[in-house]
């Protein structure tokens, strides 16, 4: 039994090491936005210069880094045909209102921090659209924690750009929900999350179903419920029994969801 446990641990270590190696091998791209250097890790498929490719923008959690996000979320190996951009945040206040802690993160509202992260997104999308053939009907955003909150900011301010969104471990304010236009969305939440509490996330998910005019839910993938929409904007809720983490199969589920949705 001890030998089996050691083999399992070794296998997990090898997988984790391989993911980190794969993330470290992604090239770093640099942009100057309002005189500030911004960075991202970029995966591009070999055919991206000639064949229209979907693009996935990925935003790490508070105190996170782009390399960590690439290793954890691993969208580029799960969807190698897509352009995947792991964006790097700048020092930001903590997720709790009034927090004075400054670590890498994202703006929480439209207009906050002089819209530095919205401008970053605009600059990256514009430059990649020049360098590659971006399929403008298949642009997506996924983020965790602080990065998940920023996906809601993007939805509010740049919603017309996106085919679908996948925020996790975060909430959208009730006022923010009233500003959103219906769009396919997968929201991931942990039932024991003490940072973005599940009760608040449930209010967000309830608000999304109302916004998207969803009907009764039905099982979809493991831990997921699909709520069909009579306006073509389904909601998927991915509810797991854990805390503020990102489950190991979540990226594959999100990629499946993204692949099913493109703008008209």
**pLDDT the model gives residue 98:** 57
Residues 6+ apart with CB under 8 A from 157: 110, 115, 118
pTM for this one? 0.89
Asked which of 37-41, 51-55, 89-93, 206-210 is least confident by mean pLDDT, the reply is 89-93
How do residues 136-158 score in pLDDT, each as one tens digit? 999 999 999 999 999 999 999 99
Structure tokens at 143: 């983020």
Helix orientation angle between 146-158 and 116-131, rounded to the nearest 10 degrees? 70
> Residue 80: its pLDDT value, please?
97
Q: Report whether 147 contacts 66 (CB < 8 A).
A: no
Nearest to 261 by CA among 146, 163, 121: 163
Is residue 241 predicted with pLDDT exceeding 80? yes
> pLDDT band for position 6 (50/70/90)?
very low
Mean pLDDT of 93-105: 70
**208: part of which helix (H) or strand (E)?**
helix 198-211
How do residues 180-216 score in pLDDT, each as one tens digit? 999 999 999 999 999 999 999 999 999 999 999 999 9
Mean pLDDT of the chain: 90
pLDDT of residue 16: 41
Nearest to 153 by CA among 117, 103, 199: 117
Q: Is 95's pLDDT higher than 90?
A: no
Query: Alpha-carbon distance 89 to 80, whole Å?
Result: 24
Q: Do 170 and 152 form a contact (C-beta atoms < 8 A)?
A: yes
pLDDT tens per residue across span 11-43:
444 344 444 444 568 999 999 999 999 999 999
Mean pLDDT calculated for residue range 222-232: 96
Q: Average pLDDT of 80-109?
A: 84
- What pLDDT does residue 174 have? 77
C-beta neighbour count of 1 within 10 angstroms:
5
Predicted confidence (pLDDT) at residue 258 exceeds the cutoff of 70 = yes
Residue 100: band (very low, low, confident or very high) from pLDDT cuts 50, 70, 90: low
Crossing angle of helices 66-73 and 2-24, in 10° steps, is 130
Structural domains of the chain sorted by starting position, each given as residue range(s) with its CATH number in brackets: 15-259 (3.40.50.1820)
């Amino acid at each position: 039994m001890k030998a089996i446990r050691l083999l399992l641990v070794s296998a997990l270590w090898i997988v984790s090491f391989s993911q980190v190696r794969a993330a470290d091998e992604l090239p770093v791209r640099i942009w100057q936005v309002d005189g500030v250097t911004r960075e991202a890790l970029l995966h591009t498929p070999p055919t991206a210069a000639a064949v229209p490719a979907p693009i996935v923008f990925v935003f790490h959690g508070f105190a996170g880094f782009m390399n960590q996000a690439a290793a954890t979320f691993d969208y580029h190996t799960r969807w190698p045909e897509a352009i995947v951009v792991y964006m790097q945040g700048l020092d930001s206040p903590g997720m709790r209102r009034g927090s004075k802690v400054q670590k890498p993160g994202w703006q929480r509202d439209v207009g906050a921090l002089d819209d530095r992260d919205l401008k970053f997104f605009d600059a990256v999308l514009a430059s990649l659209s020049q360098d590659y053939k971006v399929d403008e009907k298949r642009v997506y955003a996924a983020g965790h924690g602080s990065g998940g909150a920023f996906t809601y900011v993007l939805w509010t301010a740049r919603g017309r750009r996106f085919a679908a969104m996948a925020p996790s471990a975060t909430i959208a304010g009730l006022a923010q929900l009233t500003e959103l236009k219906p769009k396919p969305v997968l929201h991931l939440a942990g039932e024991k999350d003490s940072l973005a509490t599940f009760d608040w996330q449930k209010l967000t998910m309830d608000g999304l179903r109302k916004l998207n005019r969803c009907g009764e839910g039905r099982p979809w993938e493991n831990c997921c419920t699909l709520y069909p929409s009579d306006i073509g904007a389904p909601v998927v809720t991915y509810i797991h029994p854990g805390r503020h983490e990102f489950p190991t199969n979540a990226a594959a589920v999100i990629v499946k969801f993204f692949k099913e949705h493109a703008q008209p």
